[in-house]
Structure 1
Amino acid sequence: MYEKQSWMVMALGWNGWTQDRVFLLATGLLFLVVFVQVTLFHYRQNFRHWSMWIPVIATPLFGLSILLFTYYHVNWLLNLLTVLLSVGILAGAYGSYMHIHGVGERVGGYELRNFMTGPPLTLPALISALSLLGLIALYWGG
């Protein structure tokens, strides 16, 4: 029996896509969105510390690699993504440390106003969370 399908699903050829594949696509796109935000924040701070370059370089690399994997499911790319996303979890944890430390370096230290205006505490944790979700999606389908 003919089922009515949206024009978008038909145009993109998403018929038959598994949930893990769609989840990987969304994760890759999210990494690219986070890349834009991280770049703007770190550019605003003039890349004062070398570690500010880590998410600026890593997030588009992660995002594009994941997007590539959604269309080309090959073993070497699966292994590369496993390593990259594992490093992403650690990089996000390091970024969280750096952001918490950065709040403490502001005048007044760990006061509420410094948490409100200083380095965003949740953004590095978002990179760790996205990396973990990417790993889950990679191995979700078995």
Structure 2
Amino acid sequence: MLLGWDDWSLARLLTLILGIGYVMLWLQVTVWHWRGKFHKWQMWIPVIALPIFGIVATFLALFTTEWLGLLHTLLSAVAIIAGIYGGLLHISAIKQRTGGFKMENVMSGPPFVLPFTIASFGVIQLLLLWY
């Protein structure tokens, strides 16, 4: 883990960029879930978790230590699981709308691709950390 992270390698730079990306996603997700009035407790998961993911990724890029790498490995796995879970919840919410899974509901309903994007960030982070 963290091989070649002594200088600003591509993996370290991408970790910093993904850390900032987590924070940007957090801002957008918080606005959308606030608009949804947090009517389900699961809506709090990304609102709480995304800034933690972003802060840890940023700190790992700036201060490369073994324990931060292990913590970020664990958080990346959590991001993958939470992203897949959120994506399935979003797909289920679209299906429950009037008319089911139609283009109009996909366009106006919860963005089902966004949680899978969070999961993909976790996969990318694991690849950056361990390969």
Residue number in structure 1 paired with 2:42 = 51
Residue number in structure 1 paired with 2:62 = 71
Aligned residues: 125
Structure ranking higher on relative contact order (CA contacts 8 Å, 6+ apart): 2
Q: Give the CA deviation at 1:107.
A: 1.7
1:69-99: per-residue Cα shift (whole Å, max 9, x none)?
1111111111111111001101000001100
Specify every segment of 5 or more residues in structure 2 that has no aligned partner in the other structure, as ranges. 1-6
2:51 is aligned with 1:29 = no
Q: Using the alignment, how far apart are the partners of 2:16 and 2:67 within structure 1?
A: 18
Identity %: 38
Residue number in structure 2 paired with 1:82 = 73
Give matches, 1:1-142, under 5 Å. 16-140=7-131
Taking structure 2 as the reference length, the TM-score comes to 0.91
Q: RMSD of aligned C-alpha atoms?
A: 1.0
| 2:95 partner amino acid | G
Larger Rg: 1
Q: Using the alignment, how far apart are the partners of 1:120 and 1:19 within structure 2?
A: 30
Taking structure 1 as the reference length, the TM-score comes to 0.84
| 2:60 partner amino acid | F
Q: Using the alignment, how far apart are the partners of 1:19 and 1:111 within structure 2?
A: 41
Specify every segment of 5 or more residues in structure 1 that has no aligned partner in the other structure, as ranges. 1-15
Q: Using the alignment, how far apart are the partners of 1:101 and 1:44 within structure 2?
A: 19
